[in-house]
Structure 1
Amino acid sequence: MLATAAAPLLSWRAVRAEDDEDAHAHGVGAAAEDVLTVVGPWEMTGLDPSRAGYMFTRMEVVETLLDVDARGRLQPRLATRWETSDDGLAWRFTLRGNRRYHDGTPVTPDSVLACLRRAAGRPGVLGLAGIRAIALERGAIVFTLARPFAPLPWLLTHYSTQILAPASFDAAGKVVRIVGSGPFRIAAISMPQQFDVARFDGYGGLAPPGRVLKARYISVARAETRTLLVQSGQADLAFALDPPSIRALQHSPKAVLVSAMLPRTTFIKLNAGHPFLADVRVRRAIALCVQRQGIARALLRDPDLGATQLFPPSLDGWHDAGLAPLRTDLREARRLLDAAGWQPGADGIRRRGGQRLALTLTTFVDRPELPPIAAALQEEMRQVGIAVRVVIGNSSDIPAGHRSGALQMGLVARNFGNVPDPVATLLQDFGAEGGDWGAMGWRNAEVPALLARLASGDYPTPDAMHADRARVAAVLQSELPVIPVVWYRQVCAASRRIAGTGIDPFERSYGIAGLRWA
């Protein structure tokens, strides 16, 4: 027993030494008295809004036409009003007047139009809307669509549609600096790890006394390092904490933990076009061997996060309490594999026609809970005769594997609130061709048709719309192009020297403009 207890202690000391080096490598020193320091695992992969634009919305440097509140309801931002034509083919957004970019130039309708046209011409959420034209009409932005698309206003809350000053672009239209119109302006950038912001006095005048005036974001890859930075007082907000970090901070004199359930689900993305996975019986067998509550309890320390269906309770209008829940049943899993022609081999791994039932599960370290969940899934699938090789790489490996066709299984964490109306994300994931983070090689005509109808907004009653949502959930539960594992609770460590910390369930903002020095 003593030897068993000593091993974690020695391991922790080793990690601490490595983490100290990691913190030093990132240039993290003692927290400045007047600078709020935010740490997370995400690096800035570029300045273009389509790349790392979410970093600049989270730090409140840039704005979009619209925003949402904590329940996903639309709120004005750079646009004060929005309305659609009777046929749903035109949307009009009235812009807020008297706003300035951080370089002092006015936020003009022409500059807003240029950014939106640029976003519509690049891969991103606006491609879902079937936009025919974006134009100015008496100072308002008018979208003309090829077909009605009710979620358009929610697309205009997405970070890829952020509005930048003309000075942000070079002569070729490339983003070379970030000049936004939000409460904070860029003070310095050191790609890809760090950027500093300062309060922009042109946004509503001087900040009230005691508010944060300077802030810094630092990308720190290891969850252990982020924990140590908070414990030592070198960071004020730390995101994407793993369960050991959360336990280590529960009684910290330096920090408090703030949490909220997000509309995010960790699931296994399956290549349903793969010869082994094309048979729905195999997909159902995999689903039946997943011990969701066990994973949630042992790895996440939160048994309530076992995913009984794809859509979590935090996703209003989509979680179906009446849907038969996903369960664990190893006997039934083995029966399904038997029926699919996969028989146990001498080594316990199933074979059919001389082929071994061996698959690769790819995941990434950006979210620290994913590798240990992958290891648990590897063992759970082995118990029913499926050999799994786990490959841990970068998050970009998942979409790259989807596009090349090489991906077999991927363990991902998908935020269905990436656009606050989930229809937009579901169209990306489960449309006719599937999506980078959703279905792969799955052929089903019903779900894309239902999603297209939901996107049109053409419903006589709310009950009819709810029925279509429930049907989407039921088909996904039956066909299993993706296999839900756990839901997600965001936990943030916040220094006791600040007050007012909260969590945005749509992960659009860190809310630093509303924080106060305690």
Structure 2
Amino acid sequence: MLRRLLLGLLAGCTLALGASAQPRERPLRLVLNVGLQNLDPIASPSFVTRNFAYMVYDTLVAMDGKGEYQPQMLEGWQVSEDKLTWTFTLRPGLEFSDGTPVTADDVIASLKRWGARDSIGRRLIAATKELRAEAPNRFVLQLAQPFGGVIDALGKPSVHVPFIMPARLAGTTPPTQAVAEVVGSGPYLFLRDEWVPGERTFFRRNPRYVPRPEPADGLAGGKVAHIERVEFVTLPDVSLRAAALTRGEVDYLEYGPIDYLSIFRRDRNLVIARPGGIAHIVGGVSINHHLPPFDRLPMRRALQAALDRSEILAGHGLPEGMTDAGCTSMYLCGTRYSSDAGGEAIRAPSLERARALLREAGYANERIVILQPADSALINPMALVVIDRLKRAGFNLDVSTSDWSSIAQRWVAREPIERGGWNLVPVIYTGFDMADPLSNVGIGYNCTNTQPWGYCVPAMTPVLDAFAAESDPEKRKALAADLQRLAIENVTFPVDGQFQAPAVWRAELKGVIDFGFPVLWNIERSR
């Protein structure tokens, strides 16, 4: 299959050149970490779906390269003195890909659907008295109670992003189900007829898109699509990824294969990204809190005790300076809310301690299903070490090895073990997802029952409420530290190491925005 896929890439180039007397512009080809299966960024918590969505949808607010929030689809906003009434105005010229104008009704339907799914979104909607349209291009967010992060919520950069869709879709589709059509107002159009799920995804420039006048900056500014066509390609074999990039058969790797980074550094035809703190990645283990045995805290603590961050990160073989095994912050070290609170519980992992905790928990050797994503170059090396350590600690693991696309479908389903259910899934997240308590997967989804893991720590609820309402930065930091301590104590989402995984692209690409995940507008070829 891999050989067929690579040959398909080459054949596509040949056919394009032979189709007319004038060579057609080469498409921009991005190699994704995993295959794209789900097209709805609200229904799916996957990064690959987020990457897809930034091509075809747009957001009201966007994060720039400094981590600050700027108007994107919005012309601007006004805030009342008591900060309870927010009036937003859409910028002119916004159209969906079906030719209909973007209106306040579309925004309201999209925000309500997102708010029923996302951690920050749920809190924003819960604090809202009313969302109402005042004109086709203007809407009002009337808060019932203080909410300290309105703009942070609307500009959330990663899973789940509040992308704007037509009201006819967002207003009629449950947030856990995929919308029937991909209709957005972003810089590219999705070519559904050419899509090969899990393998190749095709886009072309959206002629209806009107970029902002400012220069592109992070996710903000003008999203100018200079290249007519873009392709997302899946190459599970990392050696094929490396070969395709060095030969110029693909242009951009979402994540450079770690074993090849030293080689890439010596190649003047390649550029290696330099991701900052919020763009760093943290590995962890998604726990199914709904099913035995990890519905019991002692079992989760035994799991947490077995996770040695140094050993797990060593599985990647990353160059020196690209890992931080000593970091115990759930928010990632080097980010706004980074903290050592509760870190003593995970600072000294031990298999002996894990075995003792299993005995205390009364573990009776029950089968534990762990899903291993063998096609993920970033998750799989860590997953292999996690599996080995858990087996050595005495967990009776039933390892189900598959591709990430298949695992993602099982992950979001709530089935019992005998019908394809799961107990553990090794995963990764970036600082974009983890650096804020309200979006952190081990904190912000507490007692919401909207995500696969389903943890609920009653003591966290009032602290989360206080954080959401607070606007003072120092008070927010103190509350964030309390939340981290509670999350570690209750093992909502055990982390197993922070590291860098840079993107790599061909040096002939100019205007690439180094943001921490693929931003494919603003790019031109130098030749």
Counterparts of 1:28 and 1:172, CA distance in 2: 41
Q: Counterparts of 1:49-88 in structure 2 under 5 Å?
A: 50=43, 54-59=50-55, 61-88=56-83
Indicate if the aligned counterparts of 2:341 and 2:482 stay in contact, CA closer than 8 A: no
Q: What's the secondary structure of 1:161's corresponding residue?
A: coil
Q: Could you say which residue in structure 2 is the equivalent of 1:228?
A: 243
Select 1:432's aligned residue among 447, 450, 459.
447
1:197 equivalent to 2:204? Answer: yes
For residues 364-407 of structure 1, what are the alpha-carbon distances to aligned partners after superposition, in whole Å with 9 as ceiling and x for unaligned? 35633223322211221232322322223422222214798943
Q: Residue type of the partner of 2:68?
A: R
More divergent stretch after superposition (469-478 vs 317-326): 317-326
More divergent stretch after superposition (476-485 vs 192-201): 192-201
Q: Could you say which residue in structure 1 is the equivalent of 2:21?
A: none
Q: Could you say which residue in structure 1 is the equivalent of 2:19?
A: none
Q: Which is richer in strand?
A: 1
1:120 equivalent to 2:120? Answer: no
The structure number with the bigger radius of gyration is 1
Indicate if the aligned counterparts of 2:442 and 2:493 stay in contact, CA closer than 8 A: no
Q: Relative to structure 1, is the Cα distance of residues 112 and 211 closer, same or farther in structure 2, using a 3 angstrom cutoff? A: closer
The CA deviation at 1:453 is 1.5
Q: Which runs of 5+ in 1 are unaligned?
A: 1-17, 343-351
The CA deviation at 1:98 is 4.4
Q: Could you say which residue in structure 2 is the equivalent of 1:382?
A: 391
Q: What's the secondary structure of 1:361's corresponding residue?
A: strand
More divergent stretch after superposition (479-488 vs 33-42): 33-42
Q: Relative to structure 1, is the Cα distance of residues 399 and 247 closer, same or farther in structure 2, using a 3 angstrom cutoff? A: farther
For residues 203-250 of structure 1, what are the alpha-carbon distances to aligned partners after superposition, in whole Å with 9 as ceiling and x for unaligned? 359999x98332312231514243332122111111134423545644
For residues 13-68 of structure 1, what are the alpha-carbon distances to aligned partners after superposition, in whole Å with 9 as ceiling and x for unaligned? xxxxx532232357764497543222213415336865586345433x43211111
Select 2:512's aligned residue among 488, 495, 501.
501
Q: Could you say which residue in structure 2 is the equivalent of 1:446?
A: 459
Q: Could you say which residue in structure 1 is the equivalent of 2:287?
A: 270
Q: Could you say which residue in structure 1 is the equivalent of 2:315?
A: 298
1:411 equivalent to 2:426? Answer: yes
1:398 equivalent to 2:403? Answer: no
Counterparts of 1:408 and 1:172, CA distance in 2: 32
Q: What's the secondary structure of 2:429's corresponding residue?
A: strand
Select 2:302's aligned residue among 275, 281, 285.
285
Q: Could you say which residue in structure 1 is the equivalent of 2:353?
A: 332
Q: Residue type of the partner of 1:392?
A: T
1:317 equivalent to 2:317? Answer: no
Counterparts of 2:386 and 2:172, CA distance in 1: 48
Q: Could you say which residue in structure 2 is the equivalent of 1:258?
A: 273
Q: What's the secondary structure of 2:412's corresponding residue?
A: helix
Select 1:45's aligned residue among 38, 60, 65.
38
Counterparts of 1:367 and 1:164, CA distance in 2: 30
Q: What's the secondary structure of 2:311's corresponding residue?
A: helix
Indicate if the aligned counterparts of 1:187 and 1:198 stay in contact, CA closer than 8 A: no
Q: Could you say which residue in structure 2 is the equivalent of 1:240?
A: 255
Indicate if the aligned counterparts of 2:351 and 2:389 stay in contact, CA closer than 8 A: no
Indicate if the aligned counterparts of 1:66 and 1:77 stay in contact, CA closer than 8 A: yes
Counterparts of 2:140 and 2:477, CA distance in 1: 30
Q: Could you say which residue in structure 2 is the equivalent of 1:21?
A: 4
More divergent stretch after superposition (199-208 vs 400-409): 199-208
1:215 equivalent to 2:216? Answer: no
Q: Relative to structure 1, is the Cα distance of residues 473 and 49 closer, same or farther in structure 2, using a 3 angstrom cutoff? A: closer
More divergent stretch after superposition (491-500 vs 185-194): 185-194
Q: Residue type of the partner of 1:244?
A: D
Counterparts of 2:171 and 2:105, CA distance in 1: 17
Counterparts of 1:464 and 1:170, CA distance in 2: 36
Identity of aligned residues (%): 16
For residues 119-160 of structure 1, what are the alpha-carbon distances to aligned partners after superposition, in whole Å with 9 as ceiling and x for unaligned? 514643344422454322254211234543333333323575
Q: Provide TM-score, normalisation by structure 1.
A: 0.77
Q: What's the secondary structure of 1:194's corresponding residue?
A: strand
Select 1:150's aligned residue among 148, 151, 160.
148
Q: Which runs of 5+ in 2 are unaligned?
A: 15-23, 174-178, 216-221
For residues 409-433 of structure 1, what are the alpha-carbon distances to aligned partners after superposition, in whole Å with 9 as ceiling and x for unaligned? 2212234524985414559754224
Q: Could you say which residue in structure 2 is the equivalent of 1:8?
A: none
Counterparts of 2:191 and 2:356, CA distance in 1: 62
Select 1:469's aligned residue among 480, 486, 511.
480
Counterparts of 1:436 and 1:71, CA distance in 2: 30
Give the alignment's Cα RMSD to 1 decimal.
3.9
Counterparts of 2:435 and 2:152, CA distance in 1: 6
